[in-house]
A and B are shown apart, each in its own frame.
Chain A
């Protein structure tokens, strides 16, 4: 079973999620796990991939691979998989990797299992573990043909160095399809990740679209103050401009594990859940009794945030006197 891992980088840093998948791949019994690194300046990152278990690293530094767009990457990967005869390709989920994996699936008519949290060899066959239907059931999934494509949930594996040595490096030539040259990144607004971080807060009060309006984030802020905590937000409200990007919790945002997480008007979509599910205690207020967030809350309160939150804040303030 020959394994290939798609590595993602940003600036000159390999992404932890993809290194975690590489480290996992190195435990699956294939002595020559390979990795692919595509983009500007990636050659310099190849030896780090070695320390996470890659025996061989394919690199391509073409200009077309500079912007974080999927289609040119599908072209390169398809060639590597075909020529290298790889039976399994593993991806760590991200905005970019999901589109690369799905494009490759169609290009190679290869089965893709997504949202996997683990993978194992059972009697020599690769089996993926996937929580499904709002994580209400755990499913074992398999592949009927090669290559097998696997997309892992963000944070599925820790990036632990395997102590591997210097990998063999193979430079790839890049030939792109017409449709892969269409999209262009014309502007990138990188968000500053320095400054005080909500990742260290013991208490987080997070707000979602159920707050109804940007002004209502005051409810979350006041409750956070009363609890001595920080404020978080969902992607829906960040993209709507209600709250800053730095407060976003979830797959594309921060991963937090405070002692207390209070979710106000948040539905509990899987991409939000992966960023906060390891919180010690989760309290959710949502007016919809069927909201998925209640499936993983310690205390679920079916009700209106506008009624309950001001009262709760007042009670907390009274208590403190």
Chain B
């Protein structure tokens, strides 16, 4: 049994779009997309039950290795980072092509995704990757179990809850309510450095650089507008007087 987990390295703190390249500025500090910690955690939980191998897969700049290492420190066994000048500026079409090519090589029984990338808020990538892998896909999983070569997911929709079953191999995107991700232990952090970690280029995956990255993108950012006006919003530090301050504010707004 092999489980692949797709994780993204995202900017930390206030992200910004570079006005010249019109791309997300990825030069600052970054970390593991916190929604992906839920996917890593779920893989580790399944591993405990089924003795699976857990492989983390990420596409991103060289420093995405930090996020990959965090997933290894949590307990994943092995990592695959696709890092190449040519992938910068990839949109959904490009990103899904790159990840699908890497996942094709891994031939995992189960591919897990997080609920959304906190920088892009797409919450869509899994469906594009599953389409390329030609595998069943289930998203928004709040409960996941495996038995007899198939999976069972409970998920929320606009109308209530659905229970969905699908044969493996398959792709599942988990919601952030599925578990509480663990923090890496000191031992895990030390051990992560020794775990196998491979970095691949587009050429290694047999992909044409013209089809992905900025060159292959089918969408584009045309213009950046100024941020919408913020109104008269205030923020206060919650010291001993916070409750009184809130009451005063509500009274001022004639809400009490």
Interface residues of A (CB under 8 A from B): 10, 68-71, 74, 94-96, 98-103, 105-107, 109-115, 127, 131-133, 135-145, 151, 177-179, 182-191, 203, 227, 235-240, 245, 252, 259-260, 270-271, 281, 283, 285, 287, 289-290, 294-304, 307-309, 311-312, 314-316, 319
* Residues from chain A with Cβ under 8 Å of B235 in the complex: 289, 294, 297, 299-302
Q: How far is the CA of A112 from the CA of B127 in the complex (A)?
A: 12
26 A-B pairs with CB atoms under 8 Å apart are A10-B158, A95-B157, A102-B128, A105-B92, A105-B96, A112-B219, A133-B24, A138-B225, A177-B134, A179-B134, A179-B135, A187-B163, A190-B159, A236-B175, A238-B177, A239-B142, A252-B156, A252-B158, A260-B250, A297-B235, A299-B246, A301-B242, A301-B246, A302-B236, A308-B242, A316-B256
Partner of B238, one of A188, A281, A304: A304
Residue of B nearest to A133 (CB): B15
Q: Which of B53-61, B115-123, B200-208 lies at the interface?
A: B115-123
The verdict on B48 contacting chain A, using a C-beta distance below 8 Å, is no
With A109-B93, A144-B217 known as contacts, the answer to whether A139 contacts B236 (CB < 8 A) is no
Q: Are B224 and A182 in contact (CB under 8 A)?
A: no
Secondary structure call for the A interface: mixed
Partner of A184, one of B100, B157, B159, B164: B164
Q: Are B122 and A138 in contact (CB under 8 A)?
A: no
Q: Are A301 and B245 in contact (CB under 8 A)?
A: yes
What's the minimum C-beta distance from B45 to chain A, rounded to whole angstroms?
A: 16
Q: How far is the CA of A235 from the CA of B198 in the complex (A)?
A: 37
Partner of B138, one of A101, A143, A183: A183
What's the minimum C-beta distance from B172 to chain A, rounded to whole angstroms?
A: 10
Q: Are B156 and A235 in contact (CB under 8 A)?
A: yes
Q: Are A312 and B249 in contact (CB under 8 A)?
A: no
Secondary structure call for the B interface: mixed
Q: Are B233 and A298 in contact (CB under 8 A)?
A: yes
Partner of B128, one of A106, A237, A290: A106
Residue of B nearest to A315 (CB): B247
Q: How far is the CA of A301 from the CA of B91 in the complex (A)?
A: 37
With A136-B227, A183-B138 known as contacts, the answer to whether A143 contacts B247 (CB < 8 A) is no
Q: Are B142 and A312 in contact (CB under 8 A)?
A: no
Partner of A316, one of B14, B15, B247: B247
Partner of A99, one of B92, B124, B135: B124
* Residues from chain A with Cβ under 8 Å of B164 in the complex: 69, 183-186
Q: How far is the CA of A151 from the CA of B16 in the complex (A)?
A: 23
What's the minimum C-beta distance from B111 to chain A, rounded to whole angstroms?
A: 13
